[in-house]
Amino acid sequence: MTVNLLDFDLDALAAYCEGLGEKRFRAVQLFRWIHQKGESDFDRMSDLAKSLRGKLAGVAEVRGLPLISEHRSADGTVKWLFDVGGGNAVETVYIPEDDRGTLCVSSQAGCAVGCRFCSTGHQGFSRNLSTGEIVAQLWFAEHRLRQPGGERVIDNVVMMGMGEPLQNYAALVPALKVMLDDHGYGLSRRRVTVSTSGMVAMIDRLREDCPVALAVSLHAPNDALRSALVPLNRKDGIDALLDACVRYLERAPRDFVTFEYCMLDGVNDSDAHARELVRLVKVRVPCKFNLIPFNPFPASGLKRSPRERVAAFARVLQDAGIVTTVRKTRGDDIDAACGQLAGEVQDRTRVHLRLVRAPLRAPAAAANP
């Protein structure tokens, strides 16, 4: 099988070209053609040496993901479904906003974490995506959406699509480096965000290898409730997670961590839960909260918190001096909102056989101080 050049960050591509007897500057030229111009035909790479084009022919290719479908929402959101083989498909979402264009990228076919409120996790896990499959989502969207005259529309990438990015670390980091490279997409570290369910050891590794903006799916103010919602919490717990967040900020491009908090009616959305969150993070972790309206799906057994309840919860955090936003629901009409990405996955984990379907009841929040 031919080598997919989307699998390489610039250093890896330079090493590959060196193996073909070429100098690094040829790899830079090739990298720019692929990522800045979206070109996949070596013969059209006009300033690339003819000898290199000849060497690449038959041994290398720029292989994107086959597109299955494209859906456009009334609010401008676009969702693509890509075929990743083996009966699996992943979803990628573009979200236009007044001040930026955000691409939500998937890292796995399915997800093994199994968070109670996430439809992606409910369908189980099939496999990790390769670096090339991660990058291919940006490569496709960037050149599909680019305006006449070459004006770019994607300036923000969030690893918040299908999967837990830090469980696919070996493929994730080279993909991030392609996004950040000035010869690639030239994105700022502040504009690339990795969202994690809370893999403490891997947060520490990312801090050393490629610190970008960090978002953590918190969703609860105590271990009992968080373990019921986010199974990963049973391994390390909230204290260890918050300590990892503090360490991460020593290298991070932003001076705060974003905590994602999915608002679940009668489960984690009381004023008492909000006050418990304040006590948990106020003096410990510089942070902001992003409150996410839950997008219900039948198998979850959960309901969305009423708008008034979300507003009251936010006020408790804001009154304590914590920056808090409520995420706008985007792409509802095309099932592209947070927690709705499901794709098509051949579940290798038989997650449906081990999901607990009993009603989820929130443990009592800690008493008021």
pLDDT tens digit at each of 369 positions of the chain: 799 999 999 999 999 999 999 999 999 999 999 999 999 999 999 999 999 999 999 899 999 999 999 999 888 999 999 999 999 999 999 999 888 999 999 999 999 998 888 877 777 899 999 999 999 999 999 999 987 776 789 999 999 999 999 999 999 999 999 999 999 999 999 999 999 999 999 999 999 999 999 999 999 999 999 999 999 999 999 999 999 999 999 999 999 999 999 999 999 999 999 999 999 999 999 999 999 999 888 778 899 999 999 999 999 999 999 999 998 775 565 564 554 555 667 666 655 554 444 455 554 444 444
HSE of 294, CA atoms in CB hemisphere, 13 A: 28
Can you say how many angstroms the Cα of residue 51 is from the centroid of all Cα atoms in its chain?
Answer: 39
Q: Is 104 a residue of the active site?
A: no
* List 22, 39, 91, 260, catalytic entry: 91
What was the pLDDT predicted at 119? 79
Amino acid at 144: R
Tokens at 18, concatenated: 């060196």
Q: Is 91 a residue of the active site?
A: yes
Q: Please tell us whether the domain made up of 3-61 is placed in CATH 1.10.150.530.
A: yes
State which CATH number among 3.20.20.70, 3.40.190.10, 3.40.50.150, 3.40.30.10 fits the domain covering 67-354: 3.20.20.70
Identify whether the C-beta of residue 95 lies closer than 8 Å to the C-beta of residue 330: yes
Identify whether the C-beta of residue 196 lies closer than 8 Å to the C-beta of residue 203: yes
Tokens 């979402």, residue?
A: 93
Name the pTM for this structure.
0.91
Vertex 232: Cα angle to 229 and 234 (nearest 5):
85
What was the pLDDT predicted at 368? 44
What was the pLDDT predicted at 367? 45
How far apart CA 321 and CA 286 sit, in angstroms, is: 11
DSSP 168: G
DSSP 77: -
Domain edges within the chain: 3-61, 67-354
What was the pLDDT predicted at 348? 67
Identify whether the C-beta of residue 322 lies closer than 8 Å to the C-beta of residue 79: no
How far apart CA 171 and CA 16 sit, in angstroms, is: 17
How far apart CA 33 and CA 51 sit, in angstroms, is: 16
Beta strands in the chain (DSSP E): 3-4, 60-61, 67-72, 78-85, 88-96, 101-104, 108-110, 125-128, 156-159, 192-196, 213-217, 257-263, 287-293, 323-326
